[in-house]
Amino acid sequence: MSLTIILPNRIQQHLESGWGDALPRKAKEALAVEGYRSGLLSVGEIAEMLGLSINDADGFLKERGLMAIERLDEIDVDAANLENLLSKRSS
């Protein structure tokens, strides 16, 4: 999907003077952060959106003061995997 953001020329010039060619990337990152903060995007979706690994997406969020929070279904899968590993270890 392509997205167009219309800014007043003065604002665009001000942002471009600070970020140069990185302005589209910065806008995409801001959208990703807000999507995560509002609960609409997962860490995996952030990674996909920004072309990052899961670990890099986690770091990206931490740099912005956001901690990756697993969903309940992800926690259930992790718990089942841990129980499976522990049962194999004790056998």
The pLDDT of residue 1 is 82
The pLDDT of residue 69 is 64
The pLDDT of residue 91 is 65
Q: How many other CB atoms are there within 10 angstroms of residue 42's CB atom?
A: 18
The pLDDT of residue 71 is 61
Q: Write down the domain spans for the chain.
A: 9-90
Question: What pLDDT tens digit does each residue of the chain (91 aa) get?
Answer: 888 999 999 999 999 999 999 999 999 999 999 999 998 998 899 999 999 998 999 999 999 998 866 666 666 767 777 888 888 877 6
The pLDDT of residue 74 is 64
pTM, two decimal places = 0.70
| Helix segments in the chain, DSSP class H | 9-19, 23-37, 43-50, 54-63, 72-90
